[in-house]
Amino acid sequence: MVLSINNLTKRYGYLAALSGVSFSIEKGSVFGILGPNGSGKTTTLGIVLGVINSTGGSYQWFDNQTTDNPRKRVGAILETPNFYHYLSAYKNLQIAADIKGVGYHNIEGMLKLVNLFERKDYAFSTFSLGMKQRLAIASALLANPEVLVLDEPTNGLDPQGIAEIRELIIAIAKQGKTIILASHMLDEVEKVCTHAVVLQKGKVLTSGKVSDILGSNDIIEIAAWDFEKLESLAKSHPMIKSLIKNNAGKLELTFSGTVATSDLNDYFHKQGVSISHLILRKKTLEAQFLELIKKGT
C-alpha cells in the first residue's frame, strides 16, 4: 500500500476540517480526492505531506512509519507554481534540482515529457498558466519519485490546458507511478482516475474504484403509448431498482445489476407493451457525486 490514512482528524478551534477520515491508496493507482470547497481535500494532502499537523489519527507511507522520511519518494505540487520569472525553464529546473540534491541529467527528459523542451530557453514569465503548471510537474518529477501528488492541477486552466494536463497525468501513470490528485473537476477525474474518495465537510462519503463508485447506475429512459401499463410492468421487473417520471413524460429506470436494452425491450414486448422510446444514458461521476453530496447534507 502506498498510503494508508486511519481516522485522521484536524480541528481549528471549534471547526472540524477533518473528522475521522480513513482510506488507502494502492501502488500504481491514479487516486482522486474529490469534494466541494471546504471538504478537507487540501487539509488531507497537507497533513500527509508534513506541512500541516493533524489533531488525531495516523497515516503511513509505503507501509512504514511516518518517521522513516518517506517524503523523499514523493513529489508534490500543493500551491501555484513558484519559479523565477526572469529565468528560463531550463535554469529554473536546474535550481529545483540543486534544492532536491539531484543532478541535471533528468532535466531534458522531464522537459520533453511535459512538452516544454522546445521552450526550455524561454523565460518563465512568457509561459501560459498551463505551461507553468506543466513545468511545476516536471520539477516535481526531477528526483524520480514513486508518487506524484497534485492539488487542483487544472484549476484556472482553459480547455486546452486541461486536456494537456489530463494527457500528461495519463502518460506519467503509464510509467508506473502512483498519482494522488485532489480536484473538483469531476469530468477530468472520471477520465484519468482509477480510484477515488469523496469528502464532504471533512468526512468520507464513499471510496473505492471509480467504476464501483459509479456502480450499476446506468439510466434507461423509456416510454410507450400505454404509459400506465408500462409503469406497472416496470414496477414488477426484478432488476429495476427505481423509476421516476421525468419532465418529458418518460420513465427513468435504474437497475440493481446490468440489464441490456434489448432484453428490457423484449420484457415489455412479451407482455403486450410496444416501446416508443428507449435510450441508455450513462451516469457520470458528476451526477453520482452530486447525489452523494446531497445524501451527506
Task: State the pLDDT at residue 120.
Answer: 96
295 — pLDDT class (breaks 50, 70, 90): low
CATH fold of 3-214: Rossmann fold (3.40.50)
**What's the pTM value of the predicted model, to 2 decimals?**
0.77
> What are the pLDDT digits (tens) for 13-66?
888 999 999 999 999 999 999 888 888 999 999 999 999 999 999 999 998 755
CA pair distance 148, 141, nearest whole angstrom:
8
pLDDT at 286: 61
Question: How far from 295 is each of 71, 79, 148, 252, 272, CA to CA, in Å?
Answer: 36, 31, 32, 20, 38
pLDDT of residue 93 exceeding 80, the answer is yes
Backbone φ, ψ for residue 118 (5° rounding)? -70, -15
* Alpha-carbon gap, residue 281 to 238, rounded angstroms: 20
User: CA 267 → CA 239, 262, 275, distances in Å?
Assistant: 12, 9, 10
Q: Which pairs from 264-269 meet CB under 8 Å and 24+ separation?
A: 264/220, 264/222, 264/237, 267/233, 267/237, 268/224, 268/230, 268/233
pLDDT tier for residue 290 given thresholds of 50, 70 and 90 = low
Amino acid residing at 262? S
Q: Name residue, grid cell 512504514.
A: 64
The pLDDT score that the predictor gives to residue 54 is 95
The domain defined by 219-281 folds into: Alpha-Beta Plaits (3.30.70)
* pLDDT at 270 > cutoff 60: yes
Which of helix, strand or coil describes residue 247?
coil
pLDDT tens column, 184-211: 777 777 789 999 998 988 999 888 888 7
Domain boundaries, the chain: 3-214, 219-281
Q: What is the pLDDT of residue 55?
A: 95
The pLDDT tens digits for 115-153 are: 999 999 999 999 999 999 999 999 999 999 999 999 999
DSSP state of 18: E
The better pLDDT of the pair 226, 255 is held by 226
Nearest CA to 94 out of 135, 127, 126 is that of 135
